[in-house]
Structure formats: C-alpha cells, structure tokens
Structure 1
Amino acid sequence: MRPPLRIATLECGPAPPNADKQYNGFGGMFEVLLTSSAKALNQPERLNPENGLEISEWDIYNNKTYPQLEDIDAVLLTGSEDDAFEDVPWINRLVEFTQQVLAQDRVRILGICFGHQIVGRALGAKVGRNDQGWEAAVCDVDLTEKGKELFGLEKLQIQQMHLDLVFDCPPGVTLLGSSPLCAVQGMYTPRRFMTVQGHPEFEGELQTEIIKSLENKGIFSEVQSRDALDRVHIPHDGVAIGSTFLTFLLEE
C-alpha cells in the first residue's frame, strides 16, 4: 500500500471570519478541496481519498514553527491579506524557508495567491501592486500549451482576489497562464513547484463575504462590488486544479 501523501499547509494569515468558523482556517479549506480533488482524480491505487492524504496545518503567521522537511512530502503556501513583497520578519522567514525547499529536490511546493507570489519572490521575481487594480470573483485564465496539458483544459475559470502580482515569470520557470489583468497566473517547474494566482479553494459564499467586507471598508467601490458579486457563483475549476496539484505531487 502506498504511504499517505504528507502535505504541510502553511497558513499565511487568518481566513475570513465565516470561513474560519466553518473550516477552522485555511488549512481546513484546503483539506476539503484536496479530499474532493482526490475523489475526482479517481485513482485509488495511487491516492486513496479515504486515507491517502495526511494534511498538517502550520500557523506561520502567528508562530515561528515550520515543519521539518524529512517529515513531509510537500508544502502548500496559502493566501494572505498581507503583501508578499513586504519587508517584515514573518514574511522574510517564509521566503527563506521557501528558498530552502527550492534548494532540495524531494519536497515539492504548491503556492496559492500570496503563496504563488512568495514562490516568485523566492526565485528573484518582482512582486508588487497591480496598477490595473483588483482581479476578483470568477475570472478566465488563458492557459499556455503546458498549462492546457497539465490541467487538461483549454481555459481555466478560477476564483480571484488579489491586488498584488508576480510581474514576470522567473528564468527557467514555465508559465502556466495569464489574464488581461495579470500576466503570470501560474508557474511550474517539474517535480519542484506549481502555483496559481487564483483561489481554487474559494467558493461563492466566501467570496461574497470578502467582497462585501472590502466594499464596507471603502476598498471596493459599489460598482466594483456589484461587478464581482455578479460573478462569484459562476462554476469554476477549483477541483480540477486541486486534482492537477495532486497529480503533480504524485509524479515520480
């Protein structure tokens, strides 16, 4: 029997209040996504959805403790309300840890939104504000040929919620897709890392909470909010993305 796939979810900040209550943080959200994705993958001989995943959660935002690489097979870097380009101790430590993972060849990395940007920063790419503004709710991502091959789709639909971005794909890294508002929607190096700028773990109810909160804070205008809310419940490819993540982690 194949041993469980050991994934350490690095929680890069608190989840929105209702999601935190429902899922017990980002780690719980990804456990739901990856379990659903393992079922959709439907390859029990490679990954049994019932006992083939061993997901641990690490609150690196509030604590300084990180997993030991010998105890895991992959790290998953979550989203965050913070900026991946900030020069603050906990983010600098995360960048250093990511570079340590990138420097070896067994433990693999999954990066989502902020996590995608952290991987970009760890590889020397420029990360910063998008002067075109926010990308929010379900949006189309145009896939590269490699992106189409990996995801098995011609185009991705994925929940988005970001104002920051990776400006350019680092040298030697494969670009997975782009959108009109974001040129680097995903990055990939075989057997090393796979990232997406969007949020495959988000659903419409959670996005509605986030969008309304941003409007209440004056960050989103009423027009921005209405436009995003019109798209939050469009069917998206979150489970397909999760299945691709798992296939990537299982590749020998």
Structure 2
Amino acid sequence: MAPPLRIAVLECDTPVDKVNQKYKGYHGLFSLLLRESAAALGQPEKLDPETGMDITGWDVVIAQEYPNLEDVDALVLTGSKHDSFESHPWILKLVEYTKKAFEDKRVKIFAICFGHQILARALNAKVGRNSAGWELAVCNVDLSKTGKELFGRDKLRIHQMHQDIAYGYPSEVVSLGASPKCAVQGMYVPGKLITVQGHPEFREDIMTELITLRTASGLFNKEQSADAMGRAGIAHDGIAITVAFLKLLLA
C-alpha cells in the first residue's frame, strides 16, 4: 500500500469564533473537506478517506511556520480576512514560499480565495480591490473549456466571500472560469495546481455566520445581507472541486 499523501494546510487566518470552535480551525475544516472528497472519489484502493492522507496545519500568520517542501506532497493555501496585496512581512514571506513551491517540480498546490490571489501575486499578476464590490454566498461561475473538463460540469456553483481579486491571469496558468463580477475565478496548471476564488470548504452554517457578523459590523447593508442569506443554503460544488484536486494529486 502506498504511503499517505502528505498535505500541508497553510492556515492564512483563524476562522470566526463559532466556526473555529466547531471545525477546529482551517486545518480541521480542510481535513473534513479532503476526507469527504476522498470518499466521493470512490477509489479506496488508491486513496482511503481515513488513512490515505497525512494532513498537517501550519500557522503562517503568527508563528510564520512552514513545512520543508521535501516533506510534503501538496499544499493547501486557505482563505483569509487579510488583503493579499498588502506588504506585511508574513504576507511577503508567504508569497516567496508560494513562488518556491510553484517552482518545485513535485509539490502540488490547491489555493483558495486569498490563497488563489497569493498564487497569482507570486506569479507576478496584479491583485487588489474589486471595483465591482463584494461577491457573496453561492454564485455561478461560467467555466472555460478546461474548467468544464476538469470539474465535469457546464457551470460551477461555489461559495464566495471576497472583495479582492486577481486582475489577470499569469502566463503560466490556464483559466478555469469567470463570473460577472470576477474575471479570474480559477487557475490551472496540469499536474501542478488548481486554484479557485471561491470557497469549496464553506457550508451553509459558515456562510450564514459570516454574513450575520459582517452585517452587524456594518460591512454589508441590509439588501446585500438578505440577498446573500437567500443563497447561503444552495447546493454547491465544493466536493467536485476538491475531487479534481485529489485526482491531480494521484495522477
């Protein structure tokens, strides 16, 4: 039997309190998603959902700790409340590490929201605020030809929670799709990486908690809040996205 896949979750933030307590941080949340997706893959002889992955968590914000690339098979770059375009030392360190991981011929990358933008920045694409504003809750993504082939769908439904974007595609990647508010919804390099601007790991309870807190703080107005709440429980394709990454890992 093959040894477990060594997957390092680079925790770029700590979830809000209720989510953090329930799922035990982004490490716990992505561990759950990866195991659910391994079960959905349905190939236990190749990837057992319980024993086939060694998933570790790394605090890249406060502790600024990273795994040695030779000790991992894949990296997951999580979302974050922080801005991917800032020049805080920990963000610059993350960009540099991501660049090295991209250049490594063996390590695979799965990058989510903030992580997707960090990957774009590491490859010299501009990242920043989206003039179109927030994209919230479950939204449709129009997939490219490659995106349709990769995810096995004509359209993608995915949770969104962002007002920052990558402004363009690095030359090294292939587009996976776009939405009316965000032209860069996903990036792909065969055998190397999948990124998505949305959140495959989010669930209805996570989204409703975020909307509630951010509405109470004044970040979202009542109309935005009501619209997003109405889409928070729509079925989405988080598992299908992660299955595609596991297939990339196993290839």
TM-score when normalising by structure 1: 0.98
Are 2:221 and 1:245 aligned?
no
* Structure 1 residues not aligned, in runs of 5+: none
SS of residue matched to 1:171: coil
- Cα distance in 2 between the residues matched to 1:103 and 1:73: 14
Q: Give the corresponding residue for 1:196.
A: 196
SS of the residue 1:83 aligns to: coil
Q: What's the counterpart of residue 148 of structure 1?
A: 148
Q: Quick one: distance in 1 between partners of 2:58 and 2:249?
A: 19
- AA paired with 1:35? R
Alpha-carbon distance, 1:172 to partner: 3.1
Residue-pair matches, total:
251
1:22 maps to a residue whose letter is: K
SS of 1:3 mapped into structure 2 = coil
Q: How does 1:19-98 map to 2 (within 5 A)?
A: 19-98=19-98
Does 1:16 pair with 2:20? no
1:158-187 CA distance string (max 9 Å, x none): 000000001111113100010000001000
Q: Using a 3 Å threshold, how does the CA distance of structure 1 residues 27 and 143 change in structure 2: closer, same or farther? A: same
Separation in 2 of the partners of 1:7 and 1:152? 24
Helix, strand or coil at the partner of 1:61: coil
1:99: Cα distance to partner?
0.6
* Match in the other structure for 2:179: 179
Per-residue deviation, 1:64: 2.0
Residues of 2 paired with 1:104 and 1:36: CA distance? 28
Q: CA RMSD in A?
A: 0.7
Cα distance between partner residues in 1 of 2:69 and 2:231: 39
- TM (normalized to structure 2)? 0.99
Q: Matches of 2:245 and 2:19 in 1, distance apart?
A: 22
> After the TM superposition, which residues 108-147 of structure 1 pair with which residues of structure 2 at under 5 Å, given as runs?
108-147=108-147
The one-letter code matched in structure 2 to 1:170 is P
Deviation by residue 1:171-219 (Cα, 9 ceiling, x = unmatched): 1310001000000100011122110000000011110110111111111
The one-character-per-residue Cα deviations of 1:69-111 (angstroms, maximum 9, x if unpaired) are 1111011000000000001100000000001111110011110
- Percent of residue pairs identical: 53
Q: Describe the superposition over 1:102-140 as per-residue Cα deviations: whole angstroms up to 9, x where unpaired.
A: 111001111000000000000000100000000000000
Matching residue's letter, 2:133: G
1:227 CA drift (Å): 0.3
Deviation, 1:50, is 2.0
C-alpha distance in 2 between matches for 1:76 and 1:172: 19
